[in-house]
Structure 1
Amino acid sequence: MHTTDFFSRDLSWLSFNERVLMEAGRPTVPLAERIRFLSIYSSNLDEFYRVRMPALMALQKINKSKAAKEPIYTGALEEAKLIIHRQQELYGQTIAGILPQLEQYQLRLLYNTPLPVEILPELCEYFFTQVLAFLQPVFLSSLRPDFFPANNKLYLVAGLQLPGRKTEYAIVNIPSDSLPRFKAFTANGITYIVFLEDIIRQHLPAIFRDATITGAWNGKITRDAELELTDDFEEDMAGKIEKQISKRDYGFATRFLYQPGLPADCLDALIRQFGLTNASIVAGGTYHNLKDLASLPFNSQVPQYPAWPSIIPAVAASSQSIFDAIAAKDIVLHPPYQSYNTVLRFFNEAAIDPAVSEIYVTLYRVADDSKIVHALISAAKNGKQVTVLVELKARFDEANNIRWARRMKDAGVKILYSDASLKVHAKIALVKRKDKIGVYYAGLLATGNLNESTARFYTDHILLTADYAMLKEMEQLFQLLSQRRKIAGASLKFNKLLVAQFNLQKVFLDLIDREIDLSKRGIPAAITIKLNNLEEKKLIAKLYEASQAGVRIQLLVRSICCLMPGLPGLSENITVKRIVDRYLEHGRVFLFHNAGQEELYMGSADWMDRNIYRRIEVCFPVYDRDIQEEVKHILQLQLSDNVQAVQLDARLQNHPVQSEGEKVRSQEAIYQYLRVKSTTKQ
């Protein structure tokens, strides 16, 4: 196996983001949703520059001496820049084609457009009464010692001609974190939507009254977002991370994005003044941080996706104890198609049930106003022993997680943190109940975060079970995590759960090996896997081996995919599809044919280096036959998608799935399937 047999993870991720941009360009997508996909693309690209670009920049330095040993990364930085430049051109063409369509709904986004005179009086009043209070202009030639361009914040660079002096430049902050990025003004039956920076640009003469304005250009600096944590067991992990978060906005710059036309002498001064020599210096469009398009003030006439009201599962509509229902039969939930309220009920009942003595939960990304956490706080105040592992190192959610961890701790919840080198990414909860007869368990195992906010648009699967053996293993895992010692070397043995750091990778390799053996013996063999990301080379190599042995492999990989499909002699029996639609595909599902005795697993783990080697992940078997059939049917609908799915080729290109048969849009088909099934059960 050679490194050239794998895609670069970063170029693969850019390929996925291009698929998102393709959705913005599709005329069949409702207009408001096309703009939302432009926002998603922009947000994704910002994160790429904050997280992955620093890694590519570091690899470029390494490759100067080791390029021959790591050919997969040779030139990846430059290739990434070329891909991004091409995508940005497509972005500009796409938004230019979309914005005029708003006018049929009496909306006009003023994008590179002069401000109409009829809105200027109201706009002027808004500037002086609402905007001016947040502005802190500084001259580039005499910066205040405390001035430092914040990470990913917007700035306006103004050219000023002062009497008797050469042209000077001033920097004005765009306070989009304090004020709406867009402000609507209505005149003559038309609603004009104005960028905040254009409101400020219009009033630069009022800010610099003694100067003639020679020009104004938008810009922003993107910085490295990684936190640097030492691998120790200090108690105040939250304090350490808070200090690192405060430094994040001062990390080294990875990109300076500026509006074309910025004078060369000003650009040179900015690069020198703010240490941007090693950053990507990119002349982009007029407007930046277009992730804010998600907050564009539409009216109700602008077409959006039709409403899909959440389906209420039968268990949620019953007055029976949810724990009695789980004891009688395993339950599966599929948010957002189905209501997330069943999960909330699981925690709410646990908080007040007198038979519940202990509750254990892992929390990776906590909702801003988490009802789950409120239930856990109530449980602690109701005398339950509540133990919560809060992952403080969940990127960009650190501060919110710290806030909730402290609130729970103040309420009497036992709070656990993972060590600096290991994230706990498992999505699990355990409830322990006692009565006169004995001890009973109820467990929740999920593919996605215990977060009711993201559950509205992330597709996931959640298993509620009373399987005693499986939940005893979960209890052992929580006990290990409670000990605050190194996971490496721990002697726990898992027979049902697949736990990264213990048996997860080995079991998956063994399951693939079994399909290889069956195929070599002439028995039909097949593997179907759905993931967010596929990167880890040992598992990919095993899939290649299976393909060479004749195993039919169907992969649904939302974003990063380092496996090259369809290569003769290597992966000709492997297909890779992506689905991008109204919901974000997020579930992880693993189906092994096993000579007709199919085995199904779900769980939290993508097949990436970080998930396999640097995280605690939990995948779990699905034993209930009804649930197996339900999940397999959902998988089949996704594999059959010929509307929203694309097929990935050996050159990282996204090709629409060609089919002359019935049109299948999997997310819509899954919603209708679950809706009909719910109606049938009632």
Structure 2
Amino acid sequence: MAEYSFFNRDLSWLSFNDRLLMEAERADVPLLERIKFLSIFSSNLDEFYRVRMPVLMAIDNFDDRNGLNNTYYKARFLINQQQERYGHLLANYILPALKTENIHWLYNEAIPDHIQDELAALFFNEVLAYIRLFSVDKDDDGFFAENNKLYQAVMLTDKAGVERLELITIPSDVLPRLYAVNKGEDKYVVFLDDIIKNNLAYLFPEETITGVFNIKITRNAELNLRDEIGEDITAALEKELKKRDLGFATRFLCQPGVPLRHLYRIIYTLNLSNSSIVEGGYYHNLKDLNSFPLQDAKLSDSKWPSIKSLAIKKEETLFDLIQKKDLMVHVPYQQYDPVLRFFNEAANDAFVEEISVTLYRVADNSRIVNALMTAAKNGKKVTVMVELKARFDEANNIRWASRMKASGVKIIYSDADMKVHAKVALVKRTLRDKSQYLGLLATGNLNESTARFYTDHILLTANQLMLQELQWLFDFLGKKKKNPLIEEVINFKHLLVAHFNLQQKFLSLIDREIVNAEKGLPSGITIKLNNLEEKILISKLYEASAAGVKINLIVRSICCLIPGVPGQSENITVRRIVDKYLEHGRLFLFHNNGKEEVFMGSSDWMNRNIYSRIEVCFPIYDNVLKQKLIELLNLQWKDTIQAVQLNEAMQNNYVTGEEKIRSQQAIYSLLKGA
């Protein structure tokens, strides 16, 4: 293999965070939408500290090189730069712009006298019930600062001049983080933190408050199931989930200006000396800005009501339509109803005997899961592969798995070292003594909540050859092999399944484009992914570029491929799109000398997707559906409003063009007019 260069995955993650900040900085983006992007930035950064910083810190401990050269310090430097931009944006643009709309967001400002009474009433009527005090200086207090919980560190001095440290919980997990108070034409937005701070004298009537500081501790979020393989998977996971919030501290976040003697006292008392000490803003967990308490149409993006995707007459069913031709739903542009109806019909159709489904992230009040439980109660054989290791959704998935099991659903789980990330469902019917399959294969989770803002594509098909292979996959998953890496002899010809043929098939598709380019025939590749990391596939794209294949990549987040490098990737262009909806669908288009082939599915090209997950991608055979997907891809590639182009220095540069195209809006208009 040639010697190729790659972007670092962690620095690329932070490059995507830079892209989110760019969106928040844009004056032409509605004001409340800019605040939403600040929220997403904060949420992503929290996840980075929970998931990736522990890895970088561990590597740093074994790294003999100069600290300034390693990824940990580069990441710290980039994060500090981004947080400075974040604070500058808030102070100099967002807050003043709100004030011009008579919205006073009291961000590190004194609370005006004329709203003191309302906020005091809120404190005593709503907040006080959830306040917990911890005298952490006392050895017997047993205090442990929980992961990502908000605290106020309060320095107190008694009448004898003795100083002590008290911690107060900020109960943002059960109460709104931000409150709105109206006074005439003026609106005031106040942090829960400040409502508490403003009433601290009530809690400490006999002591003098000498300092109040907002702090947060972020802890390692990784779960270790390898030591629990002999246990029941749900019991092992529940045990690990209890440990998650007890993981070692990766970041101690404090507000600016904490006196050093107080700062060191907090660090020592809470055993934080080995964590990254970060001076952030005055408030933490700004992902809570996603519930900013004011709604104003003129300060928000325009609404795009979801479009009816299928017209079904009273005398026919969805299953009738699927048997006639393949169908596709593009969410959130189109209504999710056909997906819900697929499971509702399966639960009650007299001819349905079996239903098999993979579930990765489940909605809190999932109608899909309720339909599956109804199907089991109706006497149908229902098998659900529940992925209990879906990060940060583990507890919710355990809850649903328990409920389904109690309803008669057969629950199967993946191996401790293997996630099942496929998004597929299979229905088996028997009509006139003949078995028939109906299937649903998607790029995103079977989750009606995320379907409102994730762009995904769902195929509904009766292609018996493809669905027979899906049955083979469910049979394989149901065997609960001790080592799922041992591949059975399953000859997938239609489905692309990780650990069987997915990587090999994509490599062969790229090879075919290389051969065509070398023969002087038309060639080209367009791929849309969330993340691109896996070096064998990237290297093959580099090889294709060197052969003259034009490659267009739309990669939302992590991208380890370096575009535009002479002799390596001069024929590869990488773009990112950040807009109203979260780009989530994975699409793969190969020119094939004019006989275009399109695939879609659940798999990014990350190491985890290729080597430690069961993923399913699949071809689109229906020519009408195929052409529609190509049209959507082309619109995204032409985006000159929300797209940026990644250069060889990992910088995000806006795409320019004479024609102004916002691809998500163009796709909505296209589907609405179809």
Q: Deviations over 1:551-592 (max 9, x none)?
A: 100000000000000000100000000000000000001111
Look up the equivalent residue of 1:543 and give its one-letter code: L
State which drifts further: 307-316 or 41-50.
Answer: 307-316
Q: Deviations over 1:188-247 (max 9, x none)?
A: 432211111111111111111111111211010000001110277656211111111111
Aligned: 1:584 with 2:582: yes
Aligned: 1:51 with 2:51: yes
Q: Deviations over 1:313-369 (max 9, x none)?
A: 124566521111111100011000000111000000000000000000000000000
Once residues 210 and 286 of structure 2 are traced to their aligned partners in structure 1, the CA distance between those partners, rounded to angstroms, is: 26
Task: State the shift of 1:296 in Å.
Answer: 1.3
Change (3 A) 1:508 1:4: closer
Match of 2:292 in 1: 296
Once residues 645 and 62 of structure 2 are traced to their aligned partners in structure 1, the CA distance between those partners, rounded to angstroms, is: 33
Contact 2:133 / 2:168 at 8 angstroms: preserved in 1?
yes
Aligned: 1:137 with 2:136: no
Matched ranges for 1:387-402 at <5 A: 387-402=383-398
Once residues 74 and 472 of structure 1 are traced to their aligned partners in structure 2, the CA distance between those partners, rounded to angstroms, is: 52
Matched ranges for 1:401-412 at <5 A: 401-412=397-408
- Structure 1, unpaired ranges of 5+: 678-682
Choose which of 82, 85, 108 in structure 2 pairs with 1:90: 85
Match of 2:165 in 1: 169
Matched ranges for 1:443-522 at <5 A: 443-485=439-481, 486-489=483-486, 490-522=488-520
Matched ranges for 1:193-212 at <5 A: 193-212=189-208
Q: What SS does the aligned partner of 1:389 have?
A: strand
Look up the equivalent residue of 1:44 and give its one-letter code: N
State the percentage of identical aligned residues.
56
Once residues 228 and 623 of structure 2 are traced to their aligned partners in structure 1, the CA distance between those partners, rounded to angstroms, is: 45
What is the root-mean-square deviation in Å for CA atoms of aligned residues? 1.7
Once residues 110 and 328 of structure 1 are traced to their aligned partners in structure 2, the CA distance between those partners, rounded to angstroms, is: 59
What TM-score does the superposition give when structure 2 sets the normalisation length? Answer: 0.97
What TM-score does the superposition give when structure 1 sets the normalisation length? Answer: 0.96
Contact 2:360 / 2:420 at 8 angstroms: preserved in 1?
yes
Q: What SS does the aligned partner of 1:271 have?
A: helix
Match of 2:39 in 1: 39
- Structure 2, unpaired ranges of 5+: none
Change (3 A) 1:667 1:318: farther
Aligned: 1:180 with 2:176: yes
Q: Deviations over 1:89-128 (max 9, x none)?
A: 1111212211222234432111011101011122112212
Once residues 367 and 63 of structure 2 are traced to their aligned partners in structure 1, the CA distance between those partners, rounded to angstroms, is: 48
Match of 1:287 in 2: 283
Aligned: 1:323 with 2:319: yes
Look up the equivalent residue of 1:428 and give its one-letter code: V
Task: State the shift of 1:173 in Å.
Answer: 1.0
Once residues 665 and 646 of structure 2 are traced to their aligned partners in structure 1, the CA distance between those partners, rounded to angstroms, is: 22
Once residues 126 and 375 of structure 1 are traced to their aligned partners in structure 2, the CA distance between those partners, rounded to angstroms, is: 41
Aligned: 1:220 with 2:216: yes
Contact 1:60 / 1:74 at 8 angstroms: preserved in 2?
no
Contact 1:157 / 1:216 at 8 angstroms: preserved in 2?
yes
Q: What SS does the aligned partner of 1:524 have?
A: coil
Match of 2:74 in 1: 79
Match of 1:664 in 2: 661
Contact 1:138 / 1:144 at 8 angstroms: preserved in 2?
no
Look up the equivalent residue of 1:351 and give its one-letter code: A
Once residues 43 and 24 of structure 1 are traced to their aligned partners in structure 2, the CA distance between those partners, rounded to angstroms, is: 14
Once residues 350 and 297 of structure 2 are traced to their aligned partners in structure 1, the CA distance between those partners, rounded to angstroms, is: 51
Match of 1:533 in 2: 531
Change (3 A) 1:478 1:232: farther
Task: State the shift of 1:309 in Å.
Answer: 0.9
Match of 2:625 in 1: 627
Q: Deviations over 1:394-451 (max 9, x none)?
A: 0000000000001000000000100100000000000001021411110000000000
Task: State the shift of 1:531 in Å.
Answer: 0.3
Match of 2:123 in 1: 127
Match of 1:63 in 2: 63
Choose which of 608, 612, 615 in structure 2 pairs with 1:614: 612
Task: State the shift of 1:266 in Å.
Answer: 2.1
Choose which of 551, 562, 567 in structure 1 pairs with 2:549: 551
Once residues 178 and 247 of structure 2 are traced to their aligned partners in structure 1, the CA distance between those partners, rounded to angstroms, is: 29
Match of 2:226 in 1: 230
Task: State the shift of 1:263 in Å.
Answer: 2.0
Task: State the shift of 1:139 in Å.
Answer: 2.6
Once residues 574 and 454 of structure 2 are traced to their aligned partners in structure 1, the CA distance between those partners, rounded to angstroms, is: 21
Q: Deviations over 1:594-615 (max 9, x none)?
A: 1111111000000000000000
Once residues 296 and 344 of structure 1 are traced to their aligned partners in structure 2, the CA distance between those partners, rounded to angstroms, is: 31
Choose which of 138, 155, 161 in structure 1 pairs with 2:151: 155
Q: What SS does the aligned partner of 2:335 have?
A: coil
Q: What SS does the aligned partner of 1:141 have?
A: coil
State which drifts further: 644-653 or 184-193.
Answer: 184-193
Match of 1:251 in 2: 247
Once residues 88 and 156 of structure 1 are traced to their aligned partners in structure 2, the CA distance between those partners, rounded to angstroms, is: 21
Task: State the shift of 1:166 in Å.
Answer: 3.6
Change (3 A) 1:36 1:316: farther
Task: State the shift of 1:272 in Å.
Answer: 2.1
Contact 1:442 / 1:465 at 8 angstroms: preserved in 2?
yes
Q: What SS does the aligned partner of 1:171 have?
A: strand
Contact 1:459 / 1:583 at 8 angstroms: preserved in 2?
yes
Look up the equivalent residue of 2:609 and give its one-letter code: N
Once residues 249 and 558 of structure 1 are traced to their aligned partners in structure 2, the CA distance between those partners, rounded to angstroms, is: 29
Once residues 488 and 481 of structure 1 are traced to their aligned partners in structure 2, the CA distance between those partners, rounded to angstroms, is: 11
Once residues 438 and 406 of structure 2 are traced to their aligned partners in structure 1, the CA distance between those partners, rounded to angstroms, is: 26
State which drifts further: 359-368 or 300-309.
Answer: 300-309
Q: Deviations over 1:502-540 (max 9, x none)?
A: 100001011111111111111121111000000000000
Change (3 A) 1:506 1:301: closer
Q: Deviations over 1:20-60 (max 9, x none)?
A: 11111111111111111111111111011011111111222
Match of 1:358 in 2: 354
Change (3 A) 1:468 1:233: farther
Look up the equivalent residue of 2:167 and give its one-letter code: I
Contact 1:315 / 1:325 at 8 angstroms: preserved in 2?
no
Once residues 545 and 360 of structure 1 are traced to their aligned partners in structure 2, the CA distance between those partners, rounded to angstroms, is: 40
Match of 2:104 in 1: 108
Q: What SS does the aligned partner of 1:591 have?
A: strand
Once residues 301 and 494 of structure 1 are traced to their aligned partners in structure 2, the CA distance between those partners, rounded to angstroms, is: 51
Contact 2:530 / 2:604 at 8 angstroms: preserved in 1?
yes
Task: State the shift of 1:499 in Å.
Answer: 0.3
Task: State the shift of 1:465 in Å.
Answer: 0.7
Q: What SS does the aligned partner of 1:57 have?
A: helix
Choose which of 310, 314, 335 in structure 2 pairs with 1:314: 310
Contact 2:4 / 2:539 at 8 angstroms: preserved in 1?
no
Q: Deviations over 1:623-665 (max 9, x none)?
A: 1100110000000000000110000001110000021x21111
Look up the equivalent residue of 2:40 and give its one-letter code: I
Look up the equivalent residue of 2:618 and give its one-letter code: F
Look up the equivalent residue of 1:674 and give its one-letter code: L
State which drifts further: 186-195 or 321-330.
Answer: 186-195
Match of 1:673 in 2: 670
Once residues 467 and 666 of structure 1 are traced to their aligned partners in structure 2, the CA distance between those partners, rounded to angstroms, is: 31
Aligned: 1:20 with 2:20: yes
Choose which of 236, 240, 253 in structure 2 pairs with 1:240: 236
Contact 2:422 / 2:615 at 8 angstroms: preserved in 1?
yes
Change (3 A) 1:161 1:233: closer
Match of 2:593 in 1: 595
Contact 1:315 / 1:322 at 8 angstroms: preserved in 2?
no
